[in-house]
Every structure is written in C-alpha cells, then in structure tokens.
Amino acid sequence: MENSVRLTDQQREAIQEIDRNLQIIACAGSGKTEVITRRIANILQSKTDITPQNIVAFTFTEKAADSMKRRIAKALNDEAAVEGMYIGTIHGFCYHLLNKYTEQFKGHKVLDTVKSHLFVARYHDECGMSDLKLDPYPRNVNLFLSCIEKMIDDYDNHEQWSEEHKAVFEKYKSSLYSRGYIDFALLIFEAIEQLRNNELAKQFLQTIKYLVVDEYQDVDDLQEKLISIIADAGANVCVVGDDDQTIYQFRGSNANNMISFPERYSDVHQVCLETNFRCSHGVVDIADCVIRNNDNRIAKKMVAHGDVEQTEIVACRFDNRADEYAWIAEKAAELHQNGIPYKEIAILVRKGKYINAIASVLNKNGIPFSTDSADHFFSGEYFGKFVATLNILADVDKAKLYECWHEYADDKQFSIAFKYLRSCARGGNYSLSEVIIGFCEKIDFLNESAEDYETRKIDVDGIVKILDDYDEIYRDWQLSARITGILKFLGTQAAEEYKYHSFKPKDPDEDAVQLMTVHKAKGLEFHSVFLPELTKREFPVSNMGGKQYWHVLGGAFEENKGKYRGGLEDERKLFYVAVTRAKRNLYLSYELSTQPVSMFVTESASSTFLTINREDLRFNPKADDSDFAPIRSSSFTSSEGKEEKDDWEEERRQRQEYWATVKYAKSQLYDYYGTGAHFCPAMYSMLGEIKRWNPEQILEEASRNGLI
C-alpha cells in the first residue's frame, strides 16, 4: 500500500491510536506492516517528547526488521529517522541488553540449535543430562534441551521443583556460562533477570515509551514475560498478529497470548483488520470455510478486497503419486506459458520428505525450481567427496584419494594436495575447515572457469559451515580426535541437524518454482499455489509420540503438557496459512489409493468457489459402499466435527507407541553402525541404507542386533 492508496477506516484507526495500548488483529494480507510503520511514524511526528531511542519494535526475523526500517524512513522521508531505534528480534534485543549492562555475559557467544546439540552431547555428564537418566543419544539430547526450555518457562515456580531438577538447571547454566556460551532460551531468561535486578538495566527500561510487537501470535510464554515487564515499566504496548496463523506451537508459540491480551493489559483498544488485499475472493472464502471450524479463536470474518476475479480454484483426485506430481508439473508449465513467472508459483507440502520426489518430477519436465531442502546438499556428489577426504586424514590412502578426485586435478595438483593432507594428518592444530579449504586450493577446485563453479562454491561453503560448527565445541581436541568425531557426525546426524538450513543462497532474480514446506512459506505470497498430498494421514498429521519432556520431569510439567502439544486446531491453522499464500489460483490435490481425502478438503468444499468432484469427499479405498460417509455441502455440525476430531485423536494415540519404538530403534541403529564404522569404514554404507528403510525393516534390523 503506497501513500497514494486510500486506507481503510480500520487501518486509519490503528495508525491514529497512539495513547492507549493497542491490539491489532490482522487477518492474512491485511497490510499490517504498513499500518505498524505508519503508526510509528505518527508517534514521532505527533509526540514531540518522543525520540527514536524511546521506541522498540520486535519483529519475528531480521529480514522483517530491515523491511520495517526502510518503510519508517520512507514514511518520514528521512533516512536518519530510525537511528537509535531498536527494530529487530527479541533475541537480538536481549543480546544487546546483556552485552551493554552486564559484565558476566559481555562477549558470550550464542549457541544456535546445532551447536547446542553438539555441546550437550559432549558435556552430557557435566550439564545435568546424566542426572535425568538420559543416555547421550541424539534423540535424548533433543529431549534434554526440551526439558531445559520448559524449566526456563516455569522458573518463576522453581521453589516447587524437586532438588534434583533445581540441580540439573544450575548445572546446565554453569556448564554453558563457564565456557562463555549462552543459548537462545537462556538469553531471554537472563535478560529478564537483569531487568528485574540490575539497576542499570532498570534505568534503560524506563527509556522505552513505546513497544511494538509484530507476529505476536508467535511469541512464547518466556517472551511474553519480557513484553509484560517492559509494559509494567510504563511503555505503551502495541501487539499485531492473527491467532489463526499460530503455526509454531512446537516451539512454544502460544495463541492464547493473543486471544487473552485485552484481559491481561489495561486500557486496550482493539482494531480488527479484516480486509485481505492479497488473495482472490475464492481463496479468502476457502480459508474462512476451514478456519471457522476452530473453537479457540478470536471472532473475525476475513473479506476479500475489490471485485470477484477470474481465478482457478480446483481440487483434483489421482490414483497414484506419480500422476499427481506429473499433473502439478504440467499445470505449472501451463501457467508459465500463460505469462505467470515460475517464481510466482509455489508448491507447499506438509511434510518435507516429499520435496525430493516432487523436485525430481519438475526436473524431469524441465521446470526450474528452488527449494530450501538440505537434501540436495547431503545427497550431492561433493559432500560425499569431502567426507572421503576427511576420512583420508584418519586412514592415509593415496589410491582412495586419487579415485575420489582425479577427475578434478592434474597429477601435479593431486600430488601437492595429497602431501598437504598427509602433513595435516601428522600433526598441527588445524581447524577442520582449514584442512578442506587448503585441499580445495591445492587442486584449484574453486576455479571460476569450472562449468559448475556455483555448485562447487555453495557446497564448499556448506561443508565449511558444518565443520566450523563442530570445531566451535570441540576445538580443544587434537585433530585426529576431531576427525573421528566429525566423521561420525557427518555419517549419522548432520543431515537431520541441518534439515532446516538452506545451503543454497536465495537469488531474488531466479525464475524458478518455489518448493517448500508450509512452515517455510509463512509470510510469503505467490500468484498460484499447489497443495499436494491432502489425504487423511498426511494433512492433518498425527503427533508421533515417543518419550517427551513431561515423561522425564513429571509433576507439574506433566500436568501442563497440553500447552505445547499440537492438535487438530493447530493443523487447521497451518492449512489456513498454506491457502492464504495464494493471491489468485489455488490447486488442491490428493491421491486416494490408500487413504481417504483430508478433512480440510471436505471443509474447503463448503465454499462455492471450489471446483471439486464431490464423490472424492466420500471415497474410502478401504471401505465398502455402505461405509461411505454422507457428502457434506457445508461446514461440520458440532456433532460431526466432534466425531471427526475424536477419531483423529484416537488414531493419533494408537500410533504413538508404534512410532516411538521405530524412532528409538532407528537412533540405536545409527549409534551402532556409526560406532562400528570407526573400526570398519565399510559400515558407513549401512548408515545410508537405514535412511531408506521402511519402519518394519528398521524394527527387524534393530531386533536382530539386540538393540531393542
């Protein structure tokens, strides 16, 4: 929305409200960022006693922060308007606060998720993990850190904890702090402690007169505690969000913070931005038909802006995945031929495991695509070569190295590179990335004239990041010990640890179909969106269960476990987010060879905008005609909805124990063959095999080896 575009009454109301606490309920595509930035500009223009230093704005990402800074400067026609104003993430705010107002945490390094996992795996005896009777398997490392996060959330009640739990928490903090580290959760925890007890931090708190929190529905309870402390110190608070778009509950996001805001804060003015400027009427209607089946939500009615457009909103059934994916590729090509850039087309999946299969079909059909999936890196040719090169340091073998690299270097280059690796292996305090970079330099691997230079550069940067992350935690070990450890890590854990990392930088000018998970698509928009795999067990998914933090901690943690468990309403929110990424065309697809159609397709079918064969809604591949459910022409009645929900919850409970066993068996197999590979490198091949096995094969192999 440019300055020349007429604001709605609701948008103008939100911009002009600068004296009371403000809650902006912003439906998808409602122009919330423009409203926030104009409101901040209005504060600076209207309040002569307010300077940029008196305003703090929390965004969900640094990218969003950069966009907000540019918009505020543009609204005020002054590039210097944001100087001194904090606009960024909550974690960034806490990091700056600790560095500026404390001696203890000045210069501490923040461990991201991967490094936290590596840290706990190394110091499991010292950091409290062993005290909770958790062996240092990768899955248990995740479980232990989940326990720590929940203890941080509940710290205000720590006097009621057992002595064992108190000791574990203190051990974890001490093990991190003594080495100059802090993690994301403790970053906020310690910032809160400083704001409560540090006089300098308290004085800083008094300077904050306005606080703006974007994507408020995604804040967790610890972040909300920080927000309330700032508010209690006298800051005017404006929160912006949509409880229907809370999709990070597994990370602690709590939609109830948004829902209950007017009850928890005083003198709250509420504005609802219900006009969607992004999506077509059909997309908006389908989104509304689905989300209105949720009970725990703020009442609102999203409406589309402007006249009804010519769009394509269809649902298609297929007999198998091959036909479904082929149709998606064909339709994407057709859209492109009709003038839609490939980069304006998105394929959004609920489960990342389908990305490679869809990518393969797109590639086969000559359709350019871009994906954040890390699978292409770990399955790529060069990753395997880098692993083999590191292995040479543990078992110096010139013939193996030659077999790996002879196509990329002449004999002279190869000889120099081999001597370099041999000298590294004989001693020296090299970092792992130094070894790989040095080897690549010796064989001129990053020669810009190489046909696949960009791929080579991306893959070198990728392996260097992984090696540097590992060295951050293990840098005091001898090179030989680090080589042994990193080879096990690369063979058993790296692909899982970095599955959400994008090794390939985004090129904004690249014209390619965007292929990603729904979670990754949050905040994005596309002309046309495909949502495949819309069957009963694929979307909504069931929680797979297994041992959780409340099983370890018990007590009040078990009593409150429902707060962090995703349910059917959370899955519906995710579908709502997926649908509202589409500006014009929306394509729902499903293959019904083994499962009936998703309940979300049934709910979507109550929209008159959706073209669908209504027989699809009652087709069940495992039932006789007498088992067919009646066709629903509108959203569920309360009894139908409860029955469907109960069935879904019961199915989830029945699957939990089975999948918990499968996950445990798989982790045991990785540890078993990963350890064996140190003595017999040929066993590394088994690690790749395990990734391709189905659940029954995993259970059978684990049982055969006495691991379960």
- Over residues 349-388, the pLDDT tens digits come to 998 888 888 988 998 999 999 887 677 788 778 888 888 8
d(CA 200, CA 194): 9
Q: Where is mean pLDDT largest: 152-161, 296-305, 320-329?
A: 320-329
- Its pTM surpasses 0.75: yes
396 vs 534, which has greater pLDDT?
Answer: 534
pLDDT at 103 over 70: yes
pLDDT at 629 over 60: no
Lowest mean pLDDT among 48-57, 106-115, 660-669: 660-669
pLDDT at 507 over 80: no
Average pLDDT, whole number, for the chain? 84
The answer to whether 502 and 483 have CB atoms below 8 angstroms apart is no
pLDDT at 648 over 80: no
pLDDT at 218 over 90: no
pLDDT at 675: 62
Average pLDDT over residues 450-471: 90
d(CA 349, CA 381): 26
CA angle 567, 569, 572 (to 5 degrees): 115
pLDDT at 701 over 80: no
35 vs 496, which has greater pLDDT?
Answer: 35
Average pLDDT over residues 330-353: 93
pLDDT at 532: 95
Average pLDDT over residues 148-164: 88
Average pLDDT over residues 268-291: 92
pLDDT at 544: 53
Q: In sequence order, what are the residues at sequence separation of 6 or more whose Cβ sits closer than 8 angstroms to the Cβ of residue 23?
A: 238, 239, 258, 261, 262, 268, 269, 270, 271
Question: In 483-499, which positions are buried (b, 16+ CB within 10 angstroms) versus exposed (e)?
Answer: bbbbbbbbbbbbbebbe
3-state SS assignment for residue 346: strand
pLDDT at 627: 37
Amino acid letter, 189: F
d(CA 283, CA 296): 22
pLDDT at 706: 58
pLDDT at 634 over 60: no
Instruction: Quickly state the pLDDT bin for 29 (edges 50, 70, 90).
Output: confident
Average pLDDT over residues 227-247: 91
Q: How many CA atoms lie within 13 A of 545 on its CB side?
A: 14
Residues recorded for the chain: 708
Lowest mean pLDDT among 102-111, 303-312, 548-557: 548-557
Instruction: Quickly state the pLDDT bin for 70 (edges 50, 70, 90).
Output: confident
Instruction: Quickly state the pLDDT bin for 641 (edges 50, 70, 90).
Output: low
Average pLDDT over residues 34-51: 90
Average pLDDT over residues 317-336: 93
The answer to whether 266 and 584 have CB atoms below 8 angstroms apart is no
Instruction: Quickly state the pLDDT bin for 2 (edges 50, 70, 90).
Output: very low
The answer to whether 17 and 269 have CB atoms below 8 angstroms apart is yes
pLDDT at 436: 92
Amino acid letter, 426: R
61 vs 2, which has greater pLDDT?
Answer: 61
List the beta bridge partners of residue 23: 239, 270
